[in-house]
Amino acid sequence: MTRDMVRDMEFDICLRSPLARASETADIVWAGRTPGLVDVSDLREIDLYAFEGLLKAEGVEKFGAQFDKWKKKPEEFEIDGHYPVRELWDRATVVWEDVLLRQPHSKILVVAHNAVNQAILGSALGVGPHYFRRLLQSNCALSKVSISEDFKPNTGRGIEMEFFNQTPKSPLDAKKAVVGLICGPASIDEEALITNTIIHMLQKSNVKRLMFSSTGASARLAQKILDSKNNLSFETHVVETVEEILSHLKSTDDIGASIVIHDKKLCQDFMAHSLDLNDGSIFKLSPGGLSVLNMTGGPVKNPIAICINHHLHLDENEPDVDFI
């Protein structure tokens, strides 16, 4: 799966965790490219000390309150005199400063684990350990960031996220309350390229409400979705600000997707607001790109980034849509 996603991408080197699962995955993904793979110890999984290897029931039985802290406030979780999540963020900073930024290569593939990948991306975006579990990492998912000369970890400067947590599976999970932000087309040509695939994707999803701009290409795309045959019935709202989107999300415990189709700036602003970031321009959104936030519990309950600028659905060959 991951090998297919990176098959046509160019890389100069692959750095991997020496632990078995990541090491074996890197072997498959790298598929004999040159140069060879490089093991980096600091890319190992989070160090959990006395928690290592415990099943959930064992953790509850042996550690009680500590296990509860690990589940609810992981950045404050302490075990054996250590704060594992804080240490992980420190280690991610070391990976950036002593490994990634010292590479003579410009295109680097990193194969590691859920927790350490969260920390590497989190420190790149300038967010701290309290973001642990808010930057979802699916098995074998692919994320891509670009950095400039003024990049420095933990500052949020000089970083652009091109896409995050991309997998072939649709990120619009029918079993959760999610917000899906679709970056609208900026031209008639872009509109023609993405319309069919977006309509087919939404027809296969549990859409509860559709929000869109009042004018322009995003409004036309929304209208085509509404006019397409076989689309399910859902609420519709015209929105122009983050606050207007939020006003329709006050009871998002209802399972399904609230879809927003709008210009890039509003999609960026909404993600920045939801993830408590100062500037949404850090996210590079492409026309038709889908960004999904888990909003279970409502917009004040620390939304989780499921994916950002997911675009594999745009590569699918879908038949033309018939309109009413």
Residue 231, pLDDT above cutoff 60: no
Residue 50, pLDDT above cutoff 90: yes
In this predicted structure, which of 110-119, 128-137, 256-265, 314-323 has the lowest mean pLDDT? 314-323
Residue 80, pLDDT above cutoff 90: yes
The pLDDT assigned to 150 comes to 95
Residue 321 lies in a domain: no
CA atoms within 13 A on the CB side of 75: 12
What does the alpha-carbon distance between residue 65 and residue 204 come to, in Å, rounded to a whole number?
A: 42
Among 109, 132, 165, the domain boundary falls at 165
The pLDDT assigned to 3 comes to 78
Do 43 and 120 belong together in one domain?
yes
Read off the pTM.
0.92
The pLDDT assigned to 323 comes to 41
Among 165, 187, 207, the domain boundary falls at 165
More confident residue, 137 or 161: 161
Residue 214: give the domain boundaries: 177-315
Do 218 and 259 belong together in one domain?
yes
What would the mean pLDDT of 237-253 be, rounded to a whole number?
Answer: 87
What tokens appear for 117 in the block? 């990948």
Residue 173, pLDDT above cutoff 90: no
- CATH number for the domain including 17? 3.40.50.1240
Do 13 and 93 belong together in one domain?
yes
Do 15 and 130 belong together in one domain?
yes
Residue 60 lies in a domain: no
Among 113, 141, 165, the domain boundary falls at 165
What would the mean pLDDT of 128-142 be, rounded to a whole number?
Answer: 93
175-221 pLDDT per residue, tens: 788 999 999 998 888 888 899 999 989 988 889 899 999 999 999 99
Do 199 and 134 belong together in one domain?
no
What does the alpha-carbon distance between residue 105 and residue 107 come to, in Å, rounded to a whole number?
A: 6
Domain count, the chain: 2
Do 8 and 137 belong together in one domain?
yes
Residue 73, pLDDT above cutoff 70: yes
The pLDDT assigned to 22 comes to 95
Do 14 and 88 belong together in one domain?
yes
Do 109 and 160 belong together in one domain?
yes
Q: Is the peptide bond before 35 cis (omega within 30 degrees of 0)?
A: yes
- Detail the DSSP E strand segments found in the chain: 13-16, 37-39, 108-111, 142-152, 157-166, 177-183, 207-212, 235-238, 256-262, 290-294, 304-310
Residue 65 lies in a domain: no
Do 292 and 158 belong together in one domain?
no
